[in-house]
Structure 1
Amino acid sequence: MKVSIQVLGSLGDVMPYISTALVLKEQGVDVSILAPRDFSALIASHGIAVAETADFSLDAWMEEAATRGTLGGPISFFRDWSEMIQPHINDVMARCLSAADKADVVMGNLICAPARVAAEAEGIPFILTGQQPVLSPTRQEPCAMTWRPWHGERLNRASYLMINLANRVIGVTLSKHRKSLGLSNQPRFSDMRMHLGRPLPKISTIPWPIMRERPQDWGPHDFLTAYPSLRPSRPDALSPGLRRFLAAGSAPVYIGLGSLAAAHGNHVLGEAIESVEQLGCRGLVAKSMVNDAARLSDRFYVVDHEPHDQVFRHCSAVIHHGGAGTSDTALRAGVPQILQPHFLDQFWFSDRLKQLGVAPGPLPVRGLASRHVADAIEFAVSPACRKQAEMVQNDAMAHSGASDLAALILSQLDRGVARR
């Protein structure tokens, strides 16, 4: 039995599939992961087979996308399509086909659109996944990729139309590959309801308890699981230097923007440093935020390759960009969060964490000042917010998204058709 997991995106997009692959491997499944080459070493370090990776660096792509404003919204995304997306599709398509060879099922995320074509070419089941409400339209939740604070409930179902439009554009780009593989354009690739003449399973893996209940207007092939968190690391996984810093004073504020650090880190870090100094706090700074010219006092410690699940549990608050993986890790660590969302689903995660009571309102991107950060820190470190974060932690830790997702994958193995 062979499962091919094919995903593109940031670390938060790749992490849940490592956890899921570990569960599958323990059940005797031959599983591999195709992902950007930035994560090959991480995947291999968990003993998971690494499929031939896409030949581009996510970090470099994200830096260029931030400069261009590619992910600022649907208009800018389609504006930059020919320069930022289309050149990579040929390469990714070839890798997906190679990874799907002799597989029994392919699971991919929405970003890795060629994965679905590869599964169709092999005549095997395909499972579509996402880490936010984006795959299955519903009146109960907005499409997280297009949500903004002004979004009203009346627009919820309509907000998914933009994802359908993006899928249509991808389908046009992939049409030449479909033709070369002898695949018909019927049903159209943009139809996210069917695969090989059968209903397409769509699984939303969303950090618990940000989304607790499956929407009532979802169909029978729309599934919801908790986000498949990475397995807890050992407490002694922290470096000796970091352990000494943590033991030497009060719980620090963590400052990091994940994949956005290269484009936005300098300004955020400057205001955060000033706020931490003013409040008499201490800080942990992600290495990706620090350039060679940065000078930090002994109130700060630069964190490089340290497990976030262990780091966060020692923090008083976590400042981050609002990605699914970081949000989930902080929830499971029981630590209050401070978000500065920049694009796509980050605004939705920021709003939901605020509703949970574990985060203040989002930090502004434009006009960010130290007072904004200081006010957010004071809210986050308050006893009420800390207590709420600990209550939510108990809820989050009671769910195992990796086991649920692995079970759903295995349940789809009998849905294949004769290979081509």
Structure 2
Amino acid sequence: MIIPEPSDSMDKTQMSQYDPLDIPDYDPPPYEYQIPANAEFIQQNTKVGEDGRIDLDLDSKVGRALASIVPRPPIHIRSYSHLERRDWRIKLNIVIQVVGSRGDVQPFVALGSELQKHGHRVRLATHNIFAGFVRDSGLEFYPIGGDPAELMAYMVKNPGLIPNMKSLRQGDIQRKRAMVAEMLDGCWRSCVEPDMVSHVPFVAEAIIANPPSFAHVHCAQALAIPLHLMFTMPWSSTRAFPHPLANLKHSSIDPAIANYISYGIVEFLTWQGDIINKWRDSIDLEPVPASEGPALAETLKVPFTYCWSPALVPKPADWASHIDICGFFFRDPPNYTPPPDLDAFLRAGPPPVYIGFGSIVIDNPQLMSSILLEAIETTRVRAFISRGWSKLDGPSSPNVFYLGDCPHEWLFQHVAAVVHHGGAGTTACGLLNGKPTTVVPFFGDQPFWGDMVAAAGAGPKPIPHKSLDARNLAEAITFCLTPEAAAAARTIAQKMQSESGVKTAVDSFHANLPLERLKCDILPNRPAAWAIKKGKGKIRLSKLAAEILVQSGHFVRKDLKACIFSSFFSTAHILMMGHRHDTKRIPIENRRWDPVTGVSSAALGTTSDMVNATADIFLKPYEEYRRSNTSALSSPKTPSFDAGASPLEPGDRGEGSSRGVVPSGESRGGMHTAGAMAAASGKSVGRVLTSSFKGMMVDVPLAVTEGLRSFPQLYGEDVRDHGQIRDWRSGAVVAGKSFAYGMTEGLADLVVQPYKGAKEEGMLGIAKGVGKGSMGLVTKTSSAMLGLFAYPGQGIYKSIRATAHDKTRKSIMQARHEEGEWLLKTDTELHRSSVSAAYVKVAAMR
């Protein structure tokens, strides 16, 4: 929805009644709506500018092609539901996964501190460099790897996300891909591994993440736990404004539609599918189809909370109730005492202007320093220059103080204005303190926030860093020191001070949790991790309750361990006595829109898998050969007789030698290499056979069936949800349902569709209805009959795959057991007899 610009001819009464969203029968959300200060920006932001964002020309051939594969917005406008505030008592293990700079991490430190007040155990997983910062804030820390300085440098060089030729030549892409792979693995380990300092066991029971962390939805799927995304920039498709990373150019498409599809296009261009799928395989998850991966969060309706003030950007009308805007995140002001030199500088004159670019890594910091100093001299102001990651520096001056690390929450109370890169956190901190702001954006959402500040009158238009010089910076500082800019900044500050962003975000997180599935039936303040079948029902048990009941003799630990995944067809995690309790299942399916594209896509995928597997018949042995040579070169030579094992094969003493003489290290190494090469080649041959079999017997039939079933959507008819296929049993159930409903509805459409058409459009509607009914008869009945083969086949495949790929699930079960044991040793408040009594009582009711 485009927000129309109010007319200059409106009087004050008309302006007060002006609804920027202009939606009939609109149910207002729990946020205060007003004419947004950024209305003019939202109108103008569809133009192409040199601000480092992706240029999307939707009138070009490439633009039209990209637009054609992105889903269009829903026709109807969703109504809002008020945020439910729960009196939350269940204590969760929450991992917060964050990728980015310190400005990205800091808001989540505030969030973690607030979550701890509700009794949650909070682990913040981010880059290693922030370990001290996180731990000093009282949160657990887990390192995920990745170098934020290198990420920032990459983004400055490639602000539009699409790499330039210089980056390609310098090998930046390969380094970034390796870093992404490292962070994916680190994010997974942050969910299941003990604390690296205290060694206390930890298994995540909920995940909060920012979208750039990539691993979030996949970790949540593997653990079957809730996920909640939080971010400081728009990431959910809306008609109201384009994606902040996109510059749109279009003339032949509705601006509202262009805004909406810009989100899908940016996601498509930044989807790291090959890296993510390779990593998913390492944790026993199936690959995500390229057609589904970029839009997973929206398809799955993952709860999303945006961390900005609705006073700056109101919630768009086409965002559903699982998307909230809560206000900026601010941590409690730190107990900071300035060093003597900083204190003396503040006392020596009027409030200075702050200038700093935080975690940005600038290509030429000397040039930037000279620009800043010249602008300071021109405007005759006193100034702080934050050295930041670029280590800005210059000659000493009585009017300039070069800052090291200093908390903005304290510092911005003592300055006259701020000049910075436009990160959401820094922008919010400046506005909260009522300081006029100049934004010098480098990449990402920074131009977005610069435009917001300028539209609100609290600063000049943003100055892209490539355009920055002493003259325009001096003009910007002069603007910030005007009474008008100061008044606008104070107005925004008053509105922001009435908000409580962190507390509202915690309310949003709690409101979107599946309370009933989370609660342990014995200890209701703890989350369920296990389920024990009892009678016709089951009892949900927390890790601690399960350990107490094992110790009390209600069931035997050995039985629980031995029974894990004991059944061949056990994808639902059924145990002989108990099973893992899944709080939130996250199905990722390859949706088909029609039989033609469905079959084409399935056949192409099968062919691609077979070609890759065929190539690996020759490539994998070569990789094994190279790996063996590398190992041999890096290992010291050892005696070749029975003095000890070869460094290449510890413990191998050469059994099988015809003369009883132990082969030399070189011989044994060669035998081992040959064996590894043969095994790699054989495994690839097996993949060729399994890929072809799966494609012809499962994927293609399922694609035809789903394409036929989904076909009525093309002419506006809703398609019945047949449920999720998890194993052979659910596959058979889905097949039966689909057959019954498909045959019934297909035959009924011959009558129902003409009747509906007659009521809506008379004779023309009857004609349309006959066509729809005939099409429904063919597609629905064909899908129903094919489904009798396709759906059970898919279920059997999932059952077999789950049995063959159970390493990760077993490791999760073991980690839960270990945490339960630790809880049992450390909990001193529980009366174990009361837990046993509660279990007996609940069991009797089942």
Q: TM-score, normalised by structure 1?
A: 0.90
User: Aligned to 1:263, what secondary structure does the other structure show?
Assistant: coil
Structure-1 separation of matches of 2:248 and 2:456: 18
Deviations 1:238-286 (A, max 9, x none): 3232121111101111111112254354333322211211222111011
> Which residue number corresponds to residue 422 of structure 2?
322
Residue 182, structure 1, aligned to residue 346, structure 2: no
Q: Map Cα deviations across residues 294-321 of structure 1 (whole Å, 9 max, x no partner).
A: 2131111111121112211211111101
Structure 1 equivalent of residue 780 of structure 2 = none
Match of 2:211 in 1: 110
Give structure 1 stretches of 5+ with no counterpart: none
Question: Contact 1:93/1:114 (CA < 8 Å) preserved in 2?
Answer: yes
Distance in 2, matches of 1:239 and 1:122, equals 47
Query: What do the CA deviations read for 1:135-158 (whole angstroms, capped 9, x no partner)?
Result: x11111221122479999543212
Match of residue 70 from structure 1: 158
Q: Secondary structure at the match of 1:246?
A: helix
* Corresponding letter in the other structure for 2:348: A
Deviations 1:111-144 (A, max 9, x none): 101122111111111112221112x111112211
Higher alpha-carbon deviation: 93-102 or 108-117: 93-102
Match of 2:148 in 1: 58
Alignment-derived partner of residue 258 in structure 1 = 358
**Residue number in structure 1 paired with 2:82:** none
Whether 1:361 aligns to 2:477 is no
Q: Which moved more, 1:150-159 or 1:7-16?
A: 150-159
Q: Pick from 23, 41, 46: which aligns with 2:132? A: 41
Determine the structure 1 residue equivalent to 2:822: none
CA displacement 1:13-52 (0-9 Å, x = unmatched): 111110010011111100100011221111111110001x
State the Cα distance separating 1:76 from its structure 2 match: 4.3
Contact 2:97–2:213 (8 Å) recurs in 1? yes
480, 484, 488: which one pairs with 1:384?
A: 484
Match of 1:375 in 2: 475
Q: How does 1:111-190 map to 2 (within 5 A)?
A: 111-134=212-235, 136-147=236-247, 153-154=255-256, 155-166=258-269, 169-185=271-287, 188-190=292-294
The match for 2:797 is none
Residues 146 and 344 of structure 1 are in contact (CA less than 8 Å); yes or no, is this contact kept in structure 2?
no
Residue 209 of structure 1, aligned match among 292, 303, 311: 311
Q: What residue is the counterpart of 1:418 in the other structure?
A: 582
Contact 1:287 1:303 in 2 (8 A): yes
Give the C-alpha shift of residue 96 in structure 1. Answer: 1.5
Larger Rg: 2
Contact in 1 for aligned 2:229/2:304 (Cα 8 Å): yes
Are the equivalent residues in 1 in contact too, given 2:146–2:180 (CA < 8 A)? no
Q: Secondary structure at the match of 1:237?
A: coil
In structure 2, C-alpha distance between the alignment counterparts of 1:194 and 1:341, rounded to whole Å: 28
1:17 to 92, 103, 108: 108
Give the superposition deviation at 1:291: 4.9
- Which amino acid in structure 1 is aligned with residue 187 of structure 2? C
Q: Distance in 2 between matches of 1:26 and 1:285?
A: 36
In structure 1, give the amino acid aligned to 2:159.
L
How is 1:246-325 mapped onto 2 (pairs within 5 angstroms)?
246-263=346-363, 265-288=365-388, 291=391, 294-325=394-425
- 1: CA distance, partners of 2:432 / 2:418: 12
Match of residue 48 from structure 2: none
Do residues 98 (structure 1) and 189 (structure 2) align? yes
Instruction: Give the number of aligned pairs.
Output: 411
The 8 Å contact of residues 109 and 130 in structure 1, kept in 2 or not, is answered as yes
Give the whole-Å Cα distance in 2 for the aligned partners of 1:203 and 1:264: 37
Please report the TM-score for the alignment, with normalisation by the length of structure 2.
0.46
What is residue 28 of structure 1 aligned with on the other side?
Answer: 119
Give the structure 1 partner of residue 296 of structure 2: 192
Separation (CA, whole Å) in 2 of partners of 1:35 and 1:321: 22
2-structure distance, mates of 1:319, 1:149: 30
* Alpha-carbon displacement from aligned partner over 1:365-393 (angstroms, at most 9, x marks no partner): 33432111111111100011111111111
Structure 1 residue corresponding to 2:342, chosen from 233, 237, 242: 242
Higher mean Cα deviation, 154-163 or 11-20? 154-163
**Structure 1 residues 292 and 398, CA gap change in structure 2 (3 angstroms):** closer
User: 8 Å contact 1:338–1:380 — kept in the other structure?
Assistant: yes
- What is the alpha-carbon distance in structure 2 between the residues aligned to residue 343 and residue 194 of structure 1? 24
Task: Give the superposition deviation at 1:89.
Answer: 2.7
Helix, strand or coil for the counterpart of 2:159?
A: helix
Q: 2:115 is paired with a residue of what secondary structure? A: helix
Deviation at 1:63, TM superposition (A): 2.8
CA distances 1:55-84 after superposition (whole Å, capped 9, x unpaired): 232123323543xx2234446499688424
Change (3 A) 1:43 1:128: same
1:344 partner letter = G
Residue 332 of structure 2: aligned partner:
231
**Alpha-carbon offset, residue 208 of structure 1:** 5.1
Change (3 A) 1:401 1:147: farther
* 1:43–1:305 Cα change, 3 Å: same
Paired with 2:255 and 2:413, the residues of 1 have a C-alpha distance of: 35
- How far the C-alpha of 1:364 sits from its partner, in A, is 4.0
Within 2, Cα distance between the matches of 1:205 and 1:385? 24
On the 8 A contact 1:317/1:337 being kept in 2, the answer is: yes
* 1:43–1:4 distance in 2 versus 1, CA, 3 Å: same
Q: Secondary structure at the match of 2:225?
A: coil
Letter in 2 for 1:3: I
What is the alpha-carbon distance in structure 1 between the residues aligned to residue 457 and residue 250 of structure 2?
Answer: 20
SS at match of 1:395: helix
Deviations 1:318-376 (A, max 9, x none): 11011111101101111111111122211111111101111101224334321111111
In 1, Cα distance between the equivalents of 2:582 and 2:391?
Answer: 55
Q: Decide whether the 8 Å contact of 1:147 with 1:347 is kept in 2.
A: no
More moved, 54-63 vs 240-249: 54-63
Task: Please state whether the residue corresponding to 1:156 is helix, strand or coil.
Answer: helix
> Is the alpha carbon distance of 1:209 and 1:267 closer, same or farther for their aligned partners in structure 2, counting shifts above 3 Å?
farther
**How far apart in 1 are the matches of 2:189 and 2:227?**
15
SS across alignment from 1:301: strand
Instruction: State the Cα deviation string for residues 208-253 of structure 1 (Å, max 9, x = none).
Output: 5321x2110112322222121222234x533232121111101111
Task: Please tell me whether residue 2 in structure 1 is matched to residue 104 in structure 2.
Answer: no
* Distance in 2 (alpha carbons) for counterparts of 1:132 and 1:292: 28
Range with greater deviation from structure 2 (174-183 or 81-90): 81-90
Identity %: 24
CA contact (8 A) 2:360 2:388 kept: no
Relative distance call for 1:341 and 1:73 in structure 2 (3 A) is: same
SS at the partner of 1:91?
Answer: helix
Which structure has more strand as a fraction of its residues? 1
